[in-house]
């Protein structure tokens, strides 16, 4: 999060009610529309859908510092919208600030810079989802997994750590592949020195090697 993003985020938090939410709670769905925006101070949330076979598909993740659930505030939904079955779920225990749409609208009407910021976030979310689907269609499975590891990593001291909530099951849901496939690719990445495990954490050990597999310039046997 940049310093500008942090300052805007803090402005929204000031008018919100602090809440702690357990992993696996639904913050939003089209069948039970709520009327709140959330500032995610700590944790991980995901926009998902459930297929007819009961399979969970993940469209977008929201990490700490995200403002979520503001898009429905701008939508006029058709009568059959509930059939789309989109949900916002907490993928970990979360700390967040809950803002009613009424107070959200009021703050935006009084602050043009915050209004522009929300429009920028909306455009970025849309762009990220489009890129995700394009990349999922075009890239190889090892490339997609490597890109996901990099996208959800951060520097901790001198080490680049993957977000602790991205276990093999979570990665398989995001990539749309079996957990066995994820396990095999991760084992191959460890063998070539791209990553290592530290307890439950995934550590990116060699960024150059990882990026070569992201670009698909090398084939990774698994």
Domain holding 92: CATH number? 2.60.120.10
In a domain, 222, yes or no: no
Q: Do residue 114 and residue 199 come from a single domain?
A: no
Domain holding 143: CATH number? 1.10.10.10
pLDDT in tens, 195-217: 999 998 999 999 999 999 999 88
Tally of domains in the chain: 2
Q: Do residue 128 and residue 208 come from a single domain?
A: no
How far apart are the C-alpha atoms of 208 and 21, rounded to whole Å? 38
Q: Do residue 147 and residue 127 come from a single domain?
A: no
Burial class (CB in 10 A: 0-12, 13-18, 19+), 37: buried
Q: What is the pTM of this model?
A: 0.81
How far apart are the C-alpha atoms of 106 and 100, rounded to whole Å? 10
In a domain, 186, yes or no: yes
- Residue 1 clears pLDDT 80, i.e. is over it: no
Domain that holds residue 108: 3-136
pLDDT in tens, 123-134: 888 888 888 788
Q: Do residue 33 and residue 56 come from a single domain?
A: yes
Q: Do residue 46 and residue 117 come from a single domain?
A: yes
């Amino acid at each position: 999060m940049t310093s500008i993003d942090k300052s805007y985020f803090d402005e929204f938090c000031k008018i919100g009610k602090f809440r702690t939410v357990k992993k696996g709670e639904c913050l939003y769905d089209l069948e039970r529309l709520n009327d709140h925006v959330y500032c995610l101070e700590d944790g991980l949330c995901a926009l998902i859908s459930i297929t007819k076979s009961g399979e969970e598909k993940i469209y977008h993740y929201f990490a700490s510092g995200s403002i979520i659930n503001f898009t429905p505030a701008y939508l006029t939904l058709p009568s059959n919208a509930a059939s789309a079955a989109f949900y916002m779920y907490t993928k970990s225990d979360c700390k967040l600030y809950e803002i009613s749409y009424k107070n959200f609208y009021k703050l935006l009407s009084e602050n043009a810079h915050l209004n522009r910021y929300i429009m920028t976030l909306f455009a970025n979310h849309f762009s990220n989802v489009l890129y995700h689907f394009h990349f999922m269609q075009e890239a190889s499975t090892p490339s997609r997994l490597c890109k996901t590891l990099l996208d959800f990593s951060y520097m901790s001291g001198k080490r680049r750590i993957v977000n602790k909530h991205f276990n093999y099951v979570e990665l398989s849901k995001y990539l749309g592949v079996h957990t066995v496939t994820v396990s095999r690719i991760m084992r191959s990445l460890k063998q070539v020195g791209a990553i290592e495990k530290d307890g439950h954490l995934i550590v990116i050990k060699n960024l150059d090697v990882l990026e070569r597999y992201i670009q698909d310039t090398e084939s990774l046997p698994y």
